[in-house]
Amino acid sequence: MQAILTKFDYKNLLIKEYKYWYLLLRKEQVTLGSLVLIEKSFKTKYSNISSESFLEFGVIVKEIENMLGKLFSYNKINYLMFMMVDNEVHYHVIPRYSKDIVFSDITFKDSGWSGLPDFTNTNKINNVVVDQLLKLIRTELENK
């Protein structure tokens, strides 16, 4: 298995598998609904992924934004491609919120609002909340 899949706990956090991409829940929730979108060819240059993968990316973005908007009413959304530690093409998908949001009796904060997302101050969640988020997001994507 590719190291990036192991790092983001593919086995437990996969939400949906597309033809060219994997969508996973981020265990470290920068904000409520934070995701990771990993390109399946594991290229280390964005320009090396296939044209078909680029096209599918557009479809996935629409699904993500519709789903997260319906479930959590985010204010903005950030797609961040760092590729410094993890070299493979992937995005951190971070919904942004101008105010705190409660899910499963936990108050989620967007510590970086209205600037850059704060990856050093994530919202801590337990496995029960992880499972709730996975089920909710998977169900919403299946019902699109």
Asked if the model's pLDDT at residue 144 lies above 80, the reply is no
| Tokens describing residue 126 | 């337990």
pTM: 0.96
Asked if the model's pLDDT at residue 143 lies above 90, the reply is no
CATH architecture of 3-142: 2-Layer Sandwich (3.30)
pLDDT given for residue 1 in this prediction: 65
Compute the distance between CA of residue 141 and CA of residue 133 in angstroms, rounded to an integer.
12
92 contacts 26 by C-beta, under 8 angstroms: yes
pLDDT given for residue 49 in this prediction: 97
- pLDDT one-digit tens code per residue, 27-83: 999 999 999 999 999 999 999 999 999 999 999 999 999 999 999 999 999 999 998
Asked if the model's pLDDT at residue 26 lies above 80, the reply is yes
Compute the distance between CA of residue 93 and CA of residue 30 in angstroms, rounded to an integer.
10
Packing angle, helices 51-72 and 127-142, rounded to 10: 110
Compute the distance between CA of residue 132 and CA of residue 94 in angstroms, rounded to an integer.
18
| Tokens describing residue 37 | 């979108």
Residues contacting 64, CB < 8 A, separation 6+:
23, 35, 37, 77, 93
74 contacts 97 by C-beta, under 8 angstroms: yes
Mean pLDDT value of segment 124-133 = 97
| 75-25-97 Cα angle (round to 5) | 15
Residue-averaged pLDDT of the chain: 96
Mean pLDDT value of segment 120-137 = 97
Handedness of CA 101, 103, 107, 108 (dihedral sign): negative
Domain residue limits, the chain: 3-142
Burial class (CB in 10 A: 0-12, 13-18, 19+), 83: middle
How confident is residue 139, by pLDDT bands cut at 50, 70 and 90? Answer: very high
